[in-house]
Amino acid sequence: MKKIYFLCTGNSARSQMAEGFAKKYLSSDWKIQSAGVEKHGLNPFAVKVMQQLNIDISKQYSKLIDNNYLQQCQLIVTLCGDAKDRCPMTPASIKKIHWELIDPARASGTEEEKMHVFEMVRDEIKDRVMQLSKEI
């Protein structure tokens, strides 16, 4: 089975949403996981905006990068510059893709304004995962 890893700083929002979309849209020959260079817990806004699209990520949880899994991957997708810079070294045979996405967890303002930022980032991740599903 092929393996993909979605990585970001805290594995709380972007990589969690990417994992949720990938589980829905990638073929079943892919094992899909997400992780972070730190653990920040699953962001409740990420859960809410994914639920709007009937994708339940509420059972997912924030995890640190597992180097054993990382070394077995065929594809690693980093979703922020921090993860790209701090990702452990991997063999050249592992394909790496970088998606520079804003961190919705840093959004400020009212709950509605924060939700809007999460929705924008979610939609961008969905588009990228859909495109990825056509390329791999």
- From 80, 101, 117, 132, active-site residue: 80
- From 18, 70, 87, 105, active-site residue: 87
Active site residue 87: yes
Residue 41 region by backbone torsions, left for phi larger than 0, else alpha for psi between -120 and 50, else beta: left
Largest CA-CA distance found in the chain, in angstroms, rounded: 45
Looking from the CA of 118 toward its CB, the CA atoms found within 13 Å total: 25
Spell out the alpha helix ranges (H) of 1-136: 14-25, 44-51, 67-72, 81-86, 111-135
124-95-61 Cα angle (round to 5): 55
- From 7, 8, 55, 65, active-site residue: 8
Q: How many CB atoms lie within 10 A of CB 38?
A: 16
Active site residue 73: no
Q: Give the catalytic positions in this structure.
A: 8, 80, 87
